[in-house]
Structure 1
């Protein structure tokens, strides 16, 4: 979980400060790719364990930053959701 938070920190810091590149979102792409890779490489047991762990204060803060920036949140979710939802379905985490 700590690794996940560390990966998101640069994205949220830039998004929150409003200095995300005008040529696209290279940091967003990097973080999204890391999240996708995490889900592709994790087995179901690892995902269940991660889901049951409480979120760290850092992770909660980073998630709040996504809540506060709908544009970045939308782009991030569009990139990662197919992989995450498919993996959750395979693991029985969603019907």
Structure 2
């Protein structure tokens, strides 16, 4: 029991920290989830085509928000980097 209490406290603190980010950036959860989902569900060929297409006005707006808020940008990158990098590696988009 003595060993499980610190683990439970650490897990609760981590969950509370994640919840604080969700409260601070509610749009971030939605956008990051959609980006990860897009990369996981798209074929490599679809990703190559999408890469060359112009960004929608909504995508440009979100990108501008990320450029203007370094903390939000950092949190966004922390959430999407691994899934995107793995898919790009699988598709030969990165070495």
Q: TM-score, normalised by structure 1?
A: 0.68
User: C-alpha separation between the residues in 1 aligned to 2:59 and 2:40?
Assistant: 21
- Displacement of 1:35 after TM fit? 1.3
| Greater RCO structure (CA 8 Å; 6+ sep) | 1
Ranges in structure 1 where 5+ consecutive residues have no aligned partner: 1-21
Instruction: Summarize the Cα distance change of 1:93–1:46 in structure 2 as closer, same or farther, 3 Å threshold.
Output: same
Ranges in structure 2 where 5+ consecutive residues have no aligned partner: 1-18
- Displacement of 1:55 after TM fit? 2.0
Mark the structure with the bigger radius of gyration. 2
Instruction: Summarize the Cα distance change of 1:62–1:30 in structure 2 as closer, same or farther, 3 Å threshold.
Output: closer
Which residue in the other structure is 1:61 paired with? 61
Aligned residues: 74
RMSD over aligned Cα, in angstroms?
1.7
- Displacement of 1:93 after TM fit? 0.7
Off by >3 Å, runs of 4+ in structure 1: none
Q: TM-score, normalised by structure 2?
A: 0.68
Deviations along 1:50-73, whole A, 9 cap, x unmatched?
Answer: 001122344223212211100000
Which residue in the other structure is 2:47 paired with? 47
